[in-house]
Copies of this chain bind each other. A is one copy, B any other.
Amino acid sequence: MSRGPRRATVKDVAALARVSPKTVSNVMNGTVFVRPDTRERVLAAVEELGFVPNLSARSLRNGRTGVIALALPDLATAFSADLVHRVVQVAHERGMAVQIEETGAEPKREYDLVSRAREHQIDGLLLNPIRLQDSIVVHDDQLPPVVLIGEVEQHKVDRVLIDSRQAGYEVTKHMLERGARRVAALGGKTGATGASATSIQRLEGYHRALREHGMEPDPRLQVYVEEWSMAGGAEAATELLASDAGFDAIVAFTDSIALGAMHVLQEHGISVPGDVLMTGFDDVEHARFMNPSLTTIALDRHAFAEAAVDLLLTRIGDRTSPPRAVAIPHELVVRASTTR
């Protein structure tokens, strides 16, 4: 492998600036005060040699890499995409780079990430666990710095959370107040095996709202969705229609599921909101622009990303302080899909 001309090292810079390597290091890191003229000389030498510090060496020495990982189940999802966007932005502002990992349906991947974090040259990990009960996080106790994101209930590590139970309650209540009597849930089903924490909580809120309105949840109105994508939503809606359960509203567990479901309804000549009311979750960009626009649960995703990154950086700096939880508020955004 050809490697081009040798790159300049601290030593070269030190020689040219007639200082010691340590001084060069001090200037580069800016932690210690360096006399202005020395500083100038060093910077000039850096410039002249095109010196770029080798971060591998730095991390080997001080144990920090300046990289954090963001691990999500599915990167292609609209919600994930937005989260990646924001985390990268916030991390960059904090001087950190972001490595992306996809855990998909493989719990092994998640396990690997957590246990081999150091090998992967990362200082810490933002993790959206698929199913917490299987997660290594609750089983292992010699973890790298980790912040859990999403609806996670545990108290061993830091987390950023949304009150999905409450949100599920709110959207369902909203439908009922607008006259719906047969509200279907697309995304989770009572007792479904392999259900995510998110789906369980949204379902619980849905149940509570129904009961408050004197209705008993009907299992036939609950459809489990394996993959929370548009395709998954379309499949679920097809199943719901085939079941002949009869419904006049749909609580979809993500905006993407809603879009897929709505597509199927419209293919069947069913009007939204005329015949069926529909809501989503997350308020991703297409919620506003789809036809009809979608009533959904919005949250401040920038605040979400910021909280996650900052919790992680704090944790990297101090591994012994007690775990903290930050809750990000949400809000029902009413649009055309529930407005008759």
Give A320's nearest chain B residue, CB to CB.
B2
> Contacting chain B: which of A55-63, A154-162, A218-226, A324-332?
A55-63
CB–CB A230/B84 < 8 A: no
Task: Name the one of B100, B119, B256 contacting A55, with C-beta atoms under 8 angstroms.
Answer: B119
Bound Cα distance A266, B288 (Å): 13
Within 8 A of B (CB), among A301-330: 317-320
Q: Which residues of B contact A77 (CB under 8 A)?
A: 81
CB–CB A142/B82 < 8 A: no
> Contacting chain B: which of A34-42, A128-136, A196-204, A257-265?
A257-265
Task: Name the one of B1, B60, B65, B101 contacting A88, with C-beta atoms under 8 angstroms.
Answer: B101
Give A233's nearest chain B residue, CB to CB.
B289
A138 interfacial by beta-carbon distance below 8 Å: no
CB–CB B99/A100 < 8 A: yes
Q: Which residues of B contact A230 (CB under 8 A)?
A: 285-286, 288-289
A333 interfacial by beta-carbon distance below 8 Å: no
CB–CB B81/A116 < 8 A: no
CB–CB B76/A65 < 8 A: no
| Count of A interface residues, CB-CB < 8 Å | 65
A67 interfacial by beta-carbon distance below 8 Å: yes
Given known pairs A286-B286, A291-B291, the reply for A78 and B75 (CB within 8 Å) is: no
CB–CB A84/B56 < 8 A: no
Give A57's nearest chain B residue, CB to CB.
B60
A268-302 interface mask toward B, CB cutoff 8 Å, 1 = contact, 0 = none? 00000000000000000110111101000000000
Q: Which residues of B contact A115 (CB under 8 A)?
A: 52
Bound Cα distance A57, B58 (Å): 10
Given known pairs A60-B57, A84-B84, A121-B65, the reply for A234 and B100 (CB within 8 Å) is: no
CB–CB A121/B55 < 8 A: yes
CB–CB A291/B266 < 8 A: yes
Given known pairs A98-B100, A100-B98, the reply for A120 and B55 (CB within 8 Å) is: yes
Q: Which 10 A-B pairs have the closest CB atoms?
A: A81-B81, A75-B85, A56-B59, A76-B85, A263-B289, A56-B60, A230-B289, A52-B119, A55-B121, A100-B100
A interface residue numbers (CB < 8 A to B): 1-5, 7, 52-57, 59-60, 63, 65, 67, 74-78, 80-82, 84-85, 88-89, 92, 97-102, 115-116, 118-121, 142, 229-231, 233-234, 256, 259-260, 262-263, 266, 285-286, 288-291, 293, 317-320
